[in-house]
Amino acid sequence: MVLTEVVTVLAVSGEPPGLLPARQQMAFSLGWHIILACFGVAFPAIIFVVHRRGIVHDDPVALTLAKRWAKVSAVLFAIGAVSGTVLSFEMGLLWPGLMGPFGDVLGLPFAFEGLSFFVEAIFLGIYLYGWNRMPPRRHLAMLVPMAVAGIVGTFCVVSVNAWMNHPAGFTIRNGEVTDVNPWAAMFNEGAVLQFLHMWIAAFMVVGLTVSGVYAAGLLRGRVDAHHRLGFRVPFTFATVAAVVQPFVGHLLGMRIHDTQPAKLAAFELAETTESPAPLRLGGVLIDGEVRWALAIPRLGSIIARNSWDAPVPGLDTVPRDEWPPVNITHLAFQSMVLIGTTLAAFTIVYWLARWRGWDLMSNRTFLRAAVVSGPLAIVAVECGWIATEVGRQPWTVWQVLLTEDAATMSDGVWWSFGGILVVYVGMTVGAYVVLRSMARRWRSGQEELPSPYGPPRSVRQQPGSTESARP
Amino acid sequence: MTLAAVVAAAMFAGVIVYALFAGADFGSGFYDLTAGGAQRGAAVRVLIDHSIGPVWEANHVWLIYILVMWWTGFPTSFAAVMTTLFIPLILALTGIVLRGASFAFRKYAATMAQARLFGAVFAGSSLITPFFMGAVAGAIASGRVPAEGYGDRIGSWVNPTSMVGGCLAVATSVFLAGVFLCADAARSGNVSLADVLRRRTLAVGIVAGATVFAGLYPIYHDAPVLAKGLLGRASPLLVVAAVAGSAAVMLVHRRRFSLARVFAALAVGTVVTGWGVAQYPWLLVEEVTISDAAGAPATLAGLLVVVALAVVLVLPALSYLLWLTQTEEWTRDVNG
């Protein structure tokens, strides 16, 4: 009963009752899954490098890293797979107003994503259980389809989001969706750049998170070849990604001026159209006035338009009822940019120092920063998704479908959101406990991590006896 | 055959494979749950880890395949089912999440206490999912999902046909899992373990067979369209199911586990196919036909590309994985 009252208070009159909880549930489950998705996309390539080094250069340190990372990915990919399934269900459970009319417009990339998920799951199974059961090089090769599937899968999923920003492949005639061309929808004008942005972000997240784990070990005095390699390989991936990312982000930002001016105005906290436009660092919009922002002249035009004095459209060009929540969009966007730029600079510092002969792997301040960089990259990804999704509101499909028309009319969504919250908190705790215990046992010298309920090794069946029971 | 019918058939092929393979993975939760204490149950649980560990994620993706084919090919009917059957779908989904996560957690749990907790969640949630999936199938097959969606949110799945569907999904999943696990235990040379599982599988097989055919009675009264199809057009399939199911039970009894798998899969596969054949041409029984529910023709053609790619890329890879798990190198107990 209390719940019903809360819903009544929270829901603005006229909104479908499912709108607010559907938004919250989608944001929460997507924000949770995207971290695991990053691992699914980027981890196979990083494991490939250490595994290959272990085999080709006969390097036991690298091989140990590959084996351990494979076990970690067994845990991460499992919860990634199930939390991705949650999103599939939620497309229909929470957004029937999107999937009903537009399912055949936007669905095709999801179908291709399904195929790449298939490929990834199949080769993951082979890779995880293939240790000591396959010729080493063929076993190593199993990572390649996983990495390729990660690329295809990222493109497909992000292409649907890009379609929501750049609707294509259909016309609406008398309220009916017609002239459907799913290929035009899939390869909409925003797809490639948005895909690159997310794919690179995945390598930043995984590279910095994994190297941060080994930086923490180095900080605790575990200075050995294992930790140094465990830091260096993922950090190298992260560096390339972090350096390329600002350029991709800039290209994307310039596109927004043409495609979604309201989102750009919110990003830039632009109340009125200005030329040249300043860059407003921080700040919030209160009662139509920008407060506490640090304005840097001309920089807004340079960043958003690649020009000294091109105008940046303000919110005054957007009807008031089509404004996105400006402050959330602005602050999330700038946090992403700030963190991304800092991370790019941070990774460059390491390689510059190395070039000048300083090994920052023995510098405690650097290592502390390296530990923090992984979580920061995750925050940047979350901020990026908040910025692009909240910035597109009130639209689910830009200027085609309002979010309140996409959301379910069902009033039980608070219950499912509550359930999802409980299950996900449990899953987070479970993953944390298990991963920590794996690391602890590895440090204490156990390598294989047999399950605690398994019978003692000596009691288990020997290979020689396998033939006897064959029919 | 129209384009829509071809896409629907490709989607339904996914339903059959999901029922067989993912069903068997879910069904193994029953044997895990009834394996006994830490000591006594260890062998069964290690076998289950070994047996479904490499394949469960791939088998799970068939569900994703079904979902994407459905919402892309037949979008309005997808929205109708999702809005009407919100509750059983959320519960099935919860089972999927808990099963996958706790299965992975248990394998790497540090202590027996943790393994017990994760194991209980894994085994319990394994049985929740097939039940609610079956209930959803029953709701569709008994004509309780209105074309415009937002049907009765309780009555749509709390009804005789849905309950039959749920029980049937659980029983067939558990039976399949039993036969597969018996074969895996025997192949790894663990005769005593195979014997323990054999007794349970025989009992489950008889219950599953009884559920299928006893279920026809409530269906006859509750879902006339489905019943007419089952007893008419689909009746040869039910005969095949009865024969194959009996053969599977006989073969398990005679410890011919490897061959029994074929007949068990045939039996369950024909039951599921029977449902599809019986409700054809309805997608949502008595509400929407397959051709009326179909999305844009260009999209359906695109989905055929997806199906072709699945045949060319996914099936060989999947066969390779399944073949590997049957080889001696993979049957041998190597930690990894």
Q: Is the dihedral of CA A167, A168, A169, A171 positive or negative?
A: positive
Residue contact B75–A79, C-beta within 8 A: no
How many angstroms separate the CA atoms of B187 and A313, rounded?
Answer: 70
Whole-structure pTM value: 0.92
Q: Which two tokens stand for residue B300?
A: 């359906």
Q: Which chain A residue shows the shortest CA-CA distance from B47?
A: A454
Per-residue pLDDT of chain B (336 residues; tens, 9 = 90+): 799 999 999 999 999 999 999 999 999 999 999 988 888 888 899 999 989 999 999 999 999 999 999 999 999 999 999 999 999 999 999 999 999 999 999 999 988 889 999 999 999 999 999 999 999 999 999 999 999 999 999 999 999 999 999 999 999 999 999 999 999 999 988 899 999 999 999 999 999 999 988 999 999 999 999 999 999 999 999 999 999 999 999 999 999 999 999 999 999 999 999 999 999 999 999 999 999 999 999 999 999 999 999 999 999 999 999 999 888 888 766 443
Map B163-214 to HEC letters.
HHHHHHHHHHHHHHHHHHHHHHHHHCCCHHHHHHHHHHHHHHHHHHHHHHHH
Q: Does B78 touch chain A (CB under 8 A)?
A: yes
Whole-number mean pLDDT of chain B? 93
CA B298 to chain centre: 31
**pLDDT tens track for A188-199:** 999 999 999 999
Q: How far apart are CA B29 and CA B131, in angstroms?
A: 13
**Whole-angstrom Cα distance, residue A428 to residue A430?**
5
Residues of chain A short of pLDDT 70, as ranges, are 1-14, 454-471
Q: What is the pLDDT of residue B66?
A: 96
> How many whole angstroms separate alpha carbon A140 and alpha carbon A157?
27
Residue of A nearest to B257 (CA): A471
Q: How far apart are CA A166 and CA A160, in angstroms?
A: 9
- Verify whether the Cβ–Cβ distance A104 to B299 is below 8 Å: yes
Q: Which residues of chain B does A74 touch, with a Cβ-Cβ cutoff of 8 Å?
A: 104, 107-108
pLDDT of residue A303: 83
C-alpha span between A181 and A163 (Å, rounded):
12
Tokens, residue B211: 């559920």
The answer to whether A453 contacts B104, with C-beta atoms less than 8 Å apart, is no
Q: Is the CB of B97 inside 8 Å of chain A's CB atoms? A: yes
Cα–Cα distance for residue pair A302/B284, rounded to 1 Å: 56
- For B233-264, the pLDDT digits (tens) are 999 999 999 999 999 999 999 999 999 999 99
Separation of first and last alpha carbons in chain A: 61
E strand or H helix at A337: helix A326-355
- Residue A114 burial by Cβ neighbours in a 10 Å radius (0-12, 13-18, 19+): buried
Per residue in B191-210, pLDDT (tens digit) is 999 999 999 999 999 999 99
Show residues of chain B in contact with A119, CB under 8 Å.
313-314, 317
Is B101 in Cβ contact with A79 (below 8 Å)? yes
Interface of A with B in 416-455 (CB under 8 A): 416, 419, 423, 427, 430-431, 433-434, 437-438, 440-441, 448-455
Rounded distance between C-alpha atoms, residue B248 and residue B183, angstroms:
12
Do the bridges between strand B288-289 and strand A171-173 make them parallel or antiparallel, or are there none, so unpaired? unpaired
Residues of B in contact with A104 (CB under 8 A): 72-73, 75, 295-296, 299-300
**Which residue's entry shows tokens 């459209």?**
A313
Min Cα distance B77 → chain A (Å) is: 7
Q: B96 touching A, CB under 8 A?
A: yes
Q: Does A100 touch chain B (CB under 8 A)?
A: yes
Q: Specify which residues B223 forms β-bridges with.
A: none
Q: How far is A31 from chain B (nearest CA, A)?
A: 16
Selecting from A114, A408, A427 the residue whose C-beta is nearest the C-beta of B68 gives A114
Q: Does A287 touch chain B (CB under 8 A)?
A: no
Cβ-defined contact of A115 to B104 (cutoff 8 Å): no
Within 10 A of A456 (CB to CB), how many other CB atoms are there? Answer: 8
User: Distance between CA A114 and CA B71 in Å, rounded?
Assistant: 12
Dihedral angle sign, alpha carbons of residues A299, A300, A301, A302: positive
The alpha carbon of residue B148 is apart from the nearest alpha carbon of chain A, in Å, by: 10
Chain B residues closer than 8 Å to A83 by CB: 97
β pairing state of A279-281 and B288-289: unpaired
What is the rounded distance in angstroms from the CA atom of residue A48 to the CA atom of residue A65?
11
CA distance A81 to A84: 5
CB-based contact B118 A75, cutoff 8 Å = no
Cβ of A430 within 8 Å of Cβ of B102? The answer is yes
Query: What is the C-alpha separation between A231 and A227, in angstroms, rounded?
Result: 6
Q: Looking at the complex, does the CB of residue B49 fall below 8 Å from at least one CB of chain A? A: yes
Q: Return residues 267-306 of B near A (CB < 8 Å).
A: 295-296, 298-300, 302-303, 306
Question: Does B86 sit within 8 Å of A100, measured CB to CB?
Answer: no
User: Which residues in chain B have their CB less than 8 angstroms from residue A434's CB?
Assistant: 105, 108-110, 114
Cis-peptide into A276, omega within 30 deg: yes
pLDDT at A456: 52
Q: What is the ipTM of this complex?
A: 0.93
Query: Does the distance separating the beta carbons of A100 and B306 come in below 8 Å?
Result: no
Across the interface, whether the CB atoms of A93 and B257 are under 8 A apart is answered no
Contact B46 A433 (CB under 8 A): no
Which residues in A19-36 are b (16+ Cβ under 10 Å) and which e? Answer: bbbbbbbbeebbebbbbb
| A 165-194 residues inside an 8 A Cβ radius of B | 180-183
- Partnered with residue A402 across adjacent β-strands are A395
| Residue bearing tokens 């340190």 | A61
Q: Is B83 on the interface with A (CB under 8 A)?
A: yes
Residue of B nearest to A449 (CA): B108
